[in-house]
Structure formats: structure tokens, C-alpha cells
Structure 1
């Protein structure tokens, strides 16, 4: 009897886990705390790219019987996903709109939850065996700046591991004068050119001469 009870309990645990894994999350608040704490990766489908973030439909693991029952009461609301550790520029927004197509599948790794938004690393498949992290790619192209990774403890190993990855990506853009770094480099050249211009220098000398009287 105890054996059958144990088997029944084990069956319930497996069923509970299956239900959780097959649950379609339609709000950031629906996602269990342990999923966020363990930085679980979830699969989703892009619907919209907005200034607030990516609007994504969560696509859970499909188990025929359980999934069929769950679909009857699950809503079609979307999750709001932000690119963790990235301050996006307007050019970055344009790039995302061009790069991400409606219904495109992505993976998003949970790092934190801020109100109704999820702070994530977003992965996009590029071919059969290659995936690209959008957070890093945006920085690598000079289309954003590194920012604090919201949701992670500032003194945690994971925070600094990810922050270093993002900084390395940003440094590549800086070295190659890409995106915003190219614009800033051009501005500096113009500024230096103006300051070194003989006419400008003469005006400065004249202004200094006037101040002396």
C-alpha cells in the first residue's frame, strides 16, 4: 500500500511539473519566482517590436493531452520582454524592426522581472546550429549602450559575467567606430578641425585681447 501511495505521489509530482512546463504564460506575474531565480529559458514568438520592448507570445512545451486541456482556458495575452543590460538607441529600434519578423521564434532567458516587464537575454536562431544574442549584437553594432542589468543582484557572479560579455560587445563597436561610436568620432573630428582652424584661433586671440582692456 505504501508503495502504491509513493507511486501515486510521484505521479502527481510529475503531472504538476508537466502542467507547469506546458503552461502558457500570458503575463510576467504568471511566471513562477523560481523560474526567474533559476534564469530559465523560455521559447516565444515575436508579435510586435515597440519602444517599451518586445511583445512576445510564450510557446510552452507541448504535451498532447495536457496541452489540449490547457488551451481551453489560456488567454492570448503577450509578454513584454526587455533586452537586459542594453540602452537602445533610435537606430537600434530600427534595426530590431528590420531584424525581427512577425511570428519569428526566439528564446528568452529570464534574468529579472520589473513590474509587468521581463528583463531577458534574447536569443535568435541564425541557421541550424548558430544562435545570436540580440543584447550583445546590438552593442556589437554600436546601436546601443551598456546599462545596468535590472533584476540581478549587482554583486552576484552572474551579473558581472553577463555585464562583462556586454561590455566586450560594446568595446568591439567602439574599436571599429560603428554606430553611435562612429557618430561621436566624426563629431570629435569636426570639433578638433574647428578648434584648429586658423581663423577661429585668430578670433579667440582677438577676443582675449579685448578682454585685457
Structure 2
């Protein structure tokens, strides 16, 4: 009985092998089809072709997966709101058939200043950037924005704080508890950069030190002009 089962399985394998050998073209096309379907499924799951037309189109798992979205900066608002157009890496749909995308970005955990807003206009306006979503609202994506500088990507949020052009947002204990892991890591980096900028007196943290009045040139000047100043006071008082 066992020998009968072995013979049946071997005969089935032989029949399948003979069928594949006799239909090489069909077998090759079948393998190509399976590969194309697998590639399409992988690309779709990766999000490379997902078009983001507004803030509500950003998937929530982008925050957890720390996905960086490629986009083009169209405008920078006075309050630091960055208006971008999403440009995916794989553009399957022709441009004329694609819906117009317009995503509003805000720098996460950074209080923008007029100086910082001007820096944004001079640095990233009409350039390709990548934004990493950290929090979502109905109309705005609070993001960590990155741009190319010297062959590597730098964070706009960190640059502004590091150069003393903006401050880190002050959060209440209740707000700190609601931060996600990416937000907590970003906040830790920004606070470290702000501390360094304060110590080095960068940007708004620069302290205009008063000149030391007890230097040697000041003493010589005081000795020379003190009799003249004393005589002027006497004249003003007694010879009016």
C-alpha cells in the first residue's frame, strides 16, 4: 500500500513537470504575472503612489512609521504656515488627470517668529522638501520639515531653534502626556538645541554686554576731562 502512494505522488509530479516543460512560454508568462502582481501590491502598501491632496489624506500610520513625504513648497505664510504640493516618487497617474494637491504644514513644537518666517521664505520657498507628520488636524499637518543642504537632509525645525530664530513651544503637563513617541523625541532634540543656542548666545539669545567703564582708556579720559567738567558745573551754578 505505501508503495502505491509513492507511485501516485511521483506520477503526479512527473505529469506536472512534463506539462511545464511542454508549455514553457505559458509558464514564463505565469511567473511574470505573479511577479508584476506582487510588485504592484508591495508598491501600493509602501505608500509611494498614494496622493495626498489635503491634510485629511495623510494616513495615521505615517506618524508611527515615520514616513517622509516628498513635496514642493508653493508658498510660506506670515505665521510660518508652509503650503506644499505633494509629489510622490512614483507618479503613475498623468499630471493632467491628477487632482490638485494643497497641504498646509506647521512646524511641530516650534513657535514661529517674523525672523523665522523670513528664513523659511529665503531657504525652502520653491524647493523640494520632505515632511514627516507628527500630528494631524482637519486642515493642518504638524510636521518635521526636512530639506537638502550639503548633500544631506536637515530639519527645518532644528535649524530655526539651533540658530536662535525661534523658540520651542511651551507645553503644559497635560499636553506633554498626550505626545506620541516621535513628538517626544523631537521635543527632546529641540530643547537640547535651544539650550545650546542660549549658552552660545545665538540669535535672539544674544546679550548686548555693556562696555567696561573701568578700562585704562576710560580712566585716562576721565582724568583729563574731569577738571573741565568741574569748571563747567561751577560756571552754570554761579555765573548764570
Q: So what's the TM-score if we normalise by structure 1? A: 0.70
Counterpart of 1:31 (choices 53, 58, 64) is 58
CA contact (8 A) 1:140 1:169 kept: yes
How many residue pairs get matched?
174
Give 1:54 deviation, angstroms: 0.5
CA RMSD of aligned residues (A): 3.0
Counterpart of 1:119 (choices 139, 142, 157) is 142
Query: Can you give the 5+ residue segments of structure 2 that lack an aligned partner in the other structure?
Result: 1-29, 211-240
Counterpart of 2:130 (choices 101, 107, 110) is 107
DSSP-derived class of the 1:121 partner = strand
Q: Could you say if the C-alpha distance between residues 88 and 155 of structure 1 is closer, same or farther in structure 2, counting changes exceeding 3 Å?
A: closer
Counterpart of 1:167 (choices 191, 194, 201) is 191
Taking the aligned partners of 2:176 and 2:44, their CA distance within structure 1 comes to 28
Give 1:168 deviation, angstroms: 1.1
CA contact (8 A) 2:80 2:116 kept: no
Query: Can you give the 5+ residue segments of structure 1 that lack an aligned partner in the other structure?
Result: 191-213
Give 1:72 deviation, angstroms: 4.8
Report matched runs for 1:16-55 at 5 Å.
Answer: 16-17=44-45, 20-50=47-77, 51=79, 53-55=81-83
Q: Could you say if the C-alpha distance between residues 152 and 58 of structure 1 is closer, same or farther in structure 2, counting changes exceeding 3 Å?
A: farther
Q: So what's the TM-score if we normalise by structure 2? A: 0.63
Give 1:132 deviation, angstroms: 1.3
CA contact (8 A) 1:153 1:159 kept: no
Taking the aligned partners of 2:129 and 2:43, their CA distance within structure 1 comes to 27
DSSP-derived class of the 1:94 partner = helix
Q: Could you say if the C-alpha distance between residues 155 and 106 of structure 1 is closer, same or farther in structure 2, counting changes exceeding 3 Å?
A: closer
- Greater relative contact order (Cα 8 A, min sep 6): structure 1 or 2? 1
Taking the aligned partners of 2:131 and 2:80, their CA distance within structure 1 comes to 16
**Rg larger in 1 or in 2?**
2
